[in-house]
Amino acid sequence: MARARAILSALALAYRRDWTAFQSLAGNNFFLITAFLLRTAGIFVYLIMGLVVLFPLSTDPLRKIPPSRLALWPLDRRDRWVLRLASPWINPLTWGLAALAVWGAGRTVSVGLWALIAGVFAGTFLISAMPLPGGNGMFRRVPQFPGLLNQLVRKNVREILATLDFYTALILSLAVLAYRIFGPALPPEAFMAMTVLVVGAMSSYAQCLFGLDGEGGLSRYRLLPVRGWQLLLAKDVAFLSVVIPLTLPLALLPGIGAALVALAVGHAPAVEHPRPQTRWRFSTGGGLGNGVIQLIALAMTTSGIYLTSTWFLAAAVAAWAVSVWWYGRDVERVLG
């Protein structure tokens, strides 16, 4: 029992540290938009965010111990049973579900909601406990890009696909697409607003472009005989190749303009104050000020292109190109 207790205690510590990674949500632009602009009207959006967050929160805590280490420890059958039964209760979500079950007993609507959350939780828990397949198929199928930066762009796309920002934006984009196909006609301004929301959901990533490269990746960047602007360009091409398809069901040209402006503003914190990021979490931007400036700039660009003139798109392209050139020099300086 003492052995199992020691392991559970270490697991709880690791899990608590992992939960702090969810504080990244507070530094995310999408959270800012919904908190400041939508307020009570943002229930639908909060539900989407809750659903997206639920997946990484529902993983089996026992997975934090490498299987080889678990196999090496002198644990008897009883210890292993204790670990298996007790470890799910390290996850606060398990306690929340249990509390919700007690509270919702006899209330039909609550039981349905509870069943949905519990279903997602149980499904993710079981899948995460299974050994990973060798494939990582979705990540493998990233398309090829022309030019010498091809593999860097593909790597950067894979990094974006490992953030929760992308899945939130994807759900929003698909929801609008479904509404366009099956629902009544939307007023044109709705597409503009949804474009701001979708690009806004992705914009925090533009503030931490190097956050998922890790020390090994940064070390490789230093060794590659390429200029700083080329490294930045590979990041931006990946970002645009993910964001532009997401804006297809919305307003394409304003979406492209907004994405370019998000990058132009995001380069400064991404290069000068790089923040390490965690996979399968929301991206954390470079601070409230950067987030607000970025959101205002991309909202103004979207509305400018949508309501006034496509010349705003040309201005966005110019701003982005200058930013790539300027901060490309900084990349070389920061990487040393």
Partner 1 sequence: MGEGLATSRFAAAPVTMEDMISCRNLTRRFGEFTAVNGLNLEVAAGAICAFLGPNGAGKSTTVKMMTGLLAPTSGDVIVCGLNAAANPLELKRRIGVLPEDLGLFDDLTVEEHLLLTGDIYGITRQETKARASQLLHALSLEHGRRTFAASCSHGMRKKTAFAMALLPNPAVLFLDEPFEAIDPVTAKIMRDLLQSVARHGVTVFLTSHILSMVERIAHQIVMIRKGTKVWDSTVGELPQSLEDHYFDLVETPVVEELEWLGPARS
Q: Which residues bind partner 1 (CB under 8 A)?
A: 134, 136, 139-140, 147-152, 154-155, 158-159, 162, 212-217, 219-220, 222-227, 336
In whole angstroms, the minimum distance from the beta carbon of 86 to partner 1 comes to 29
In whole angstroms, the minimum distance from the beta carbon of 274 to partner 1 comes to 16
Q: What is the C-alpha separation between 268 and 205, in angstroms, rounded?
A: 12
What is the number of alpha carbons within 13 Å of residue 190 lying toward its C-beta?
Answer: 12
In whole angstroms, the minimum distance from the beta carbon of 133 to partner 1 comes to 11
Q: ∠ CA 65-209-195 to the nearest 5 degrees?
A: 110
Q: What is the C-alpha separation between 298 and 99, in angstroms, rounded?
A: 42
Q: ∠ CA 43-44-48 to the nearest 5 degrees?
A: 115
> Which of 18, 79 has the CB closer to partner 1?
18
Q: What is the C-alpha separation between 41 and 48, in angstroms, rounded?
A: 13
Burial label, 160 (beta-carbon count in 10 A; 0-12, 13-18, 19+): buried
> Which of 242, 256 has the CB closer to partner 1?
242
In whole angstroms, the minimum distance from the beta carbon of 96 to partner 1 comes to 31
> Which of 112, 147 has the CB closer to partner 1?
147
In whole angstroms, the minimum distance from the beta carbon of 80 to partner 1 comes to 26
Q: What is the C-alpha separation between 211 and 101, in angstroms, rounded?
A: 39
Contacts of residue 254, defined as CB under 8 A and 6 or more positions apart, other chains included, come to 192, 195, 247, 301, 302, 303, 305, 306, 313
In whole angstroms, the minimum distance from the beta carbon of 192 to partner 1 comes to 34
> Which of 60, 159 has the CB closer to partner 1?
159
